[in-house]
Amino acid sequence: MIHVVILGAGRVGGAMARDLAQDFQVTVADCSEAALSRMRGVGIATRAADLSLPDGVKGAVADADLVVGAVPGFMGFATAKAVLEAGKTLVDISFFDEDCFELDALAKSQKVTAIVDCGIAPGCGNLILGDVSRQWDRVISFECLVGGLPVVRTWPYEYQAGFSPIDVIEEYTRPARYVKAGHVVTFPALSEPELIDFEGLGTLESFNTDGLRSIIRTFPQVPDMKEKTLRYPGHIEKMRMLRESGFFGKEKIRVAGTLISPLDLTAALLFPMWFMQEGDEDFTVMRVAVEGEVGGQQVRKELNLLDHYDRATKTTSMARTTGYTCTATVRLVAKGGYTRQGISPPEFVGQQPGAWDFIRDDLAKRGVAFTEKS
């Protein structure tokens, strides 16, 4: 049986471990004994490892046939590098900030497949774009709207983090790159708010975030591309106020004789308020719209997703949508459905005939279902 080692036993890592254990031998590695104990409680093998150190990563994956990366973004690049140095195939959801293609030569020299950004967004949107691009004559525009939100709206933020909260704050501070009329343009995060109605939900607000990532480089022929994050109305203004007041700053300041970064203080105050307790219910909403030409005809394809917390398994929607996209890709790779060596963002996978259909069907089996209209 193929041995899959998952690096990270957090909410998403744990959901992936339980899902993959149906088909593979699974081991989860983490430094948190509490997180590993939860995994052992559901019958999954664990391995204590300091994943902040390259040797810790290499030791954790030494006997793996395939590795899944599920560490926080700030650890992702170094962790992926260590996995590739160990000569292991990798499917990763850490969404690190560094350029993934810096690892391409390493992956190719090791003759391994490494798929990055393999979650819901980035992830599914990239897969869809890749799948559409191989079938159409020309893609003219791409737009991805996505958000994960709590069912219960609690003042003041009406938000809970379905993944690493420090990565959420990055969405509010990192400049957003778009493609407009064939040129890469940069907007501040949280800019260009729009109110958008979604069937079954009502009105949400969207704002610019830096979610296009690799497709800016891999699809230079598409003249217009954007990605926006969705929240309940009013959330943008709260985050802009905190950002512009300096609460997300990383440079340390002296307060009462002590040096501290504003971000560390903000995180310490916000994270308990944003933390999802056991049983807290959430949903994920996504809309991907692609426009282009086929045989001289103007065409538009729109895929919509509305996924909810799973009460039976107590799995958050963000863990389901992010994690199950990754586990579906693991199954695709394990059965030989994608073998390209080197670094592959999800749009490369989508360009493989049948790959998106396989992943979409695997998601649907787990209740994560896209509806489509053209």
- Name the DSSP letter for residue 64: -
Asked if pLDDT for residue 190 goes beyond 80, the answer is yes
Q: Is residue 247 part of a domain?
A: no
User: What pLDDT sits at residue 161?
Assistant: 82
Average pLDDT over residues 124-146: 97
Length of the chain: 374
Q: Which of 254, 289, 308 is the last residue of a domain?
A: 308
Q: Is residue 252 part of a domain?
A: no
- Identify whether residues 284 and 161 lie together within a single domain: yes
- Ordered strands of the 113-115 beta sheet: 45-48, 25-30, 3-7, 66-69, 89-92, 113-115, 342-344
Q: CA 330: distance to chain centroid?
A: 15
Strands 25-30 and 3-7: what pairing?
parallel
Of 285, 304, 147, which is closest to residue 229 (Cα–Cα)? 147
Q: Is residue 332 part of a domain?
A: yes
- Identify whether residues 298 and 183 lie together within a single domain: yes
Asked if pLDDT for residue 275 goes beyond 90, the answer is no
Instruction: Assign 105 a pLDDT band (cuts: 50, 70, 90).
Output: very high
Asked if pLDDT for residue 169 goes beyond 90, the answer is no
Helix or strand run (H / E) with residue 193: none
Q: Is residue 260 part of a domain?
A: no
User: What pLDDT sits at residue 208?
Assistant: 93
- Identify whether residues 111 and 25 lie together within a single domain: yes
User: What pLDDT sits at residue 70?
Assistant: 96
Residues 6+ apart with CB under 8 A from 14: 28, 35, 38, 39, 319
Domain containing 333 equals 3-120+317-373
Task: List the helix and strand counts (H, then E) for the chain.
Answer: 13, 18
Q: Which of 266, 283, 308 is the last residue of a domain?
A: 308
- Identify whether residues 150 and 210 lie together within a single domain: yes
- Identify whether residues 43 and 133 lie together within a single domain: no
- Identify whether residues 101 and 38 lie together within a single domain: yes
Asked if pLDDT for residue 90 goes beyond 90, the answer is yes
Q: Which of 308, 331, 362 is the last residue of a domain?
A: 308
- Identify whether residues 290 and 223 lie together within a single domain: yes
CA atoms within 13 A on the CB side of 336: 0
User: What pLDDT sits at residue 162?
Assistant: 62
Helix or strand run (H / E) with residue 276: none
User: What pLDDT sits at residue 168?
Assistant: 82
- Identify whether residues 86 and 37 lie together within a single domain: yes
- Identify whether residues 152 and 298 lie together within a single domain: yes
Tens digit of pLDDT for each residue in 276-285? Answer: 888 899 999 9
Of 192, 165, 194, 189, which is closest to residue 177 (Cα–Cα)? 189
CATH of the domain at 343: 3.40.50.720
Token pair, residue 294, equals 């086929």
Rounded Cα distance between 174 and 230, Å, is 16
Tens digit of pLDDT for each residue in 300-343? Answer: 999 999 999 999 999 999 999 999 999 999 999 999 999 999 99
CATH of the domain at 203: 3.30.360.10
User: What pLDDT sits at residue 276?
Assistant: 85
Q: Is residue 62 part of a domain?
A: yes
CA distances to 118, 163, 196, 212 from 347, in Å: 10, 23, 26, 11
In the numeric block, the tokens 């041995």 are attached to 3
Rounded Cα distance between 282 and 22, Å, is 25
Q: Is residue 244 part of a domain?
A: no
Instruction: Assign 163 a pLDDT band (cuts: 50, 70, 90).
Output: low
Helix or strand run (H / E) with residue 331: helix 317-334
Tens digit of pLDDT for each residue in 236-266? Answer: 999 999 999 999 999 999 999 999 999 999 9
Instruction: Assign 290 a pLDDT band (cuts: 50, 70, 90).
Output: very high
User: What pLDDT sits at residue 164?
Assistant: 64
Of 149, 160, 147, 161, which is closest to residue 72 (Cα–Cα)? 161
Q: Is residue 185 part of a domain?
A: yes
- Identify whether residues 326 and 304 lie together within a single domain: no
- Identify whether residues 203 and 299 lie together within a single domain: yes
Asked if pLDDT for residue 231 goes beyond 80, the answer is yes
- Identify whether residues 192 and 286 lie together within a single domain: yes
Rounded Cα distance between 175 and 188, Å, is 5
Q: Is residue 25 part of a domain?
A: yes
Rounded Cα distance between 193 and 117, Å, is 25
Domains identified in the chain, total number: 2
CB 180 within 8 A of CB 26: no
